A and B are shown apart, each in its own frame.
Chain A
């Protein structure tokens, strides 16, 4: 273990490299990569690494990047890729395919605004578009998360009780290009945390067709198995947190992360880096005597419904902070979680930082003030911060 300064992109690339090397004792590591701002440094890093029993294919598109990972993973190798915004949109068909083939591929996704018009800054709408693709989804708050949650993704996705792919979101530039101090594990530690992948349904030389035709009855069963595997993630994730702590001496973030919620009357619910800004705003509000708290949603798929409801019990006013907009509906996090607040609670949706607008503590203090004064919840609000 060592302490190093690095960007989130490098932390992700390094985590993938360590995980890839750890499978030299198994069938090896494979990746298909295609560049897009702000993910490029991650895959450039990966392309420079020397990975024993590993290979990185420089493909012609994101669609093929995921397809190559599917090929590697189907052959029983540990597989990894990274993308962002329009790259994810272009990749989408094969993102679903990876989910339905039940392959434990890991993908880092830098959250960036979908275009055109072109905008390279943070917005969660790109990965949220993929929430129904049958992948585990996690959203990072700092660079350490890129290291720790990447390794967690491999561990949980590859668990024989799970076998679904995992996607790790991180905020464009706020994390991707920002240098922070992080703890970097040794290869020997990663080897201990990530046993060699043994994919039970890998393609061998046995005659069989993978991904052929399913009639309704088979689809019903396959979807049911998929959903059941997703529901087991909570348990397997918790076990993996314990194992992680035993090996690395730190505990990766819980599915939902509360802050000063115990005696709170009012809560800010958010994902990604907005959660750390929310903590600063909560402290500020508390200084003014407002009993505020914050709740970060780290795991978005499977959706931690029970954990959210338990944390929000007793809260009277909830602001759900989205960095995304589903036009004609509102914030996606709001849409999914508004029913989880107590029945009498006032739940208001605020969308802040769309297109990468810089969300600062004062913006969230203003949200708290607004929320505290509301008589009833209104339509979702797009709060301009830029």
Chain B
């Protein structure tokens, strides 16, 4: 079932007069990242922002110097350094009493792979940064090589027979840092997505958002199908839409139907998955395992709200 888009309201008085990603950008038609930017634009509204974008499709789309397709100040960072450069900008704003919100907008390569140590360290220091990863499950900018976010079975230019291992659980990894907020969002579920953008823009400390981002060029899918593919990824349980507060309280935001048919359609609609190279049964079994774990986490979160029994006996003498 499709969600009604943002209560049916297209443009509101408090929205930005122009989007962050403006017309004239070079993203492919049907790029999920472009949709992500429109959400972010609305959520940010008129707040002052600075955005760090490492090497990825997201920076190429800005166009060549001196033009910028972005209607916001952008620092194009080296591939691994988004979270560290953002640290400098964000601490600078704090020292100068400025309300500027500092964001990172990075691909899966800059997040799961080369930027992981830097990202982890910024999260550990609890820097005041909102880090957004748009995950197209591939190195798009360099022409479609595998990343550690590429799913099992996907053919890329460096996994010609299909990837033999699955992807990392990035929300789990980030939540394990104990940060204020880590969530995944679906661009096909706009109300939930917008709520998450707004919620974490207002939080202090390190926040992480994961966006599954259809990439017709890399996924070998129809440009018009992106949102429908996301619906299938969510309904089949392949892409859990969840949020984790303070690294300990997990909430499941969208309940999948676990439809086997949706899963089959999702795979069949993308030529990166070759029928002879993957087993839907194996994928379904992974989904089952993942969701058992998520349910345990969500249930444990509810238990976290209950007070612990008073510690028995006298405190230990040290």
Contacts and interface: CB of A to CB of B under 8 A. Distances in A.
Interface in B178-220: none
A22 to B, nearest CB: 15
Given A70-B77, A75-B89, A212-B74, 5 more contacts: A64-B84, A72-B92, A204-B73, A214-B65, A215-B64
A74 B93 CA distance: 11
A107 to B, nearest CB: 14
A340 interface: no
B93 to A, nearest CB: 7
A71 B89 contact: yes
Contacts of A72: 88-89, 91-92
A206 B73 CA distance: 6
Nearest to A203: B73
Given A64-B118, A71-B84, A218-B64, A209 B74 contact: yes
Given A54-B95, A67-B78, A203-B75, A73 B88 contact: yes
Interface in B122-178: 124-125
B198 to A, nearest CB: 20
A30 B88 contact: yes
B250 interface: no
B87 A212 contact: no
Interface string B1-31: 0000000000000000000000000000000
A59 B68 contact: no
Given A64-B81, A203-B73, A212 B50 contact: no
Interface of A: 27-28, 30, 32, 53-55, 57-61, 63-64, 67-77, 79, 93-94, 97, 203-215, 218
B76 A27 contact: no
B64 A213 contact: yes
Interface residues of B, number: 43
Given A60-B118, A77-B95, A68 B50 contact: no
A75 B92 contact: yes
Which of A57, A71, A204 has the most chain B CB within a 10 Å cutoff?
A: A71
Interface stretch (B55-63, B222-230, B280-288, B294-302): B55-63
Nearest to A52: B95
A282 B72 CA distance: 61
Contacts of B234: none
B60 A213 contact: yes
Given A30-B95, A72-B92, A75-B88, A209 B68 contact: yes
A74 B70 contact: no
B255 to A, nearest CB: 38
B67 to A, nearest CB: 8
Which of A69, A97, A210 has the most chain B CB within a 10 Å cutoff?
A: A210
Nearest to B80: A63
A55 B68 contact: no
B118 A71 contact: no
B64 to A, nearest CB: 4
A61 B122 CA distance: 11
B38 interface: no
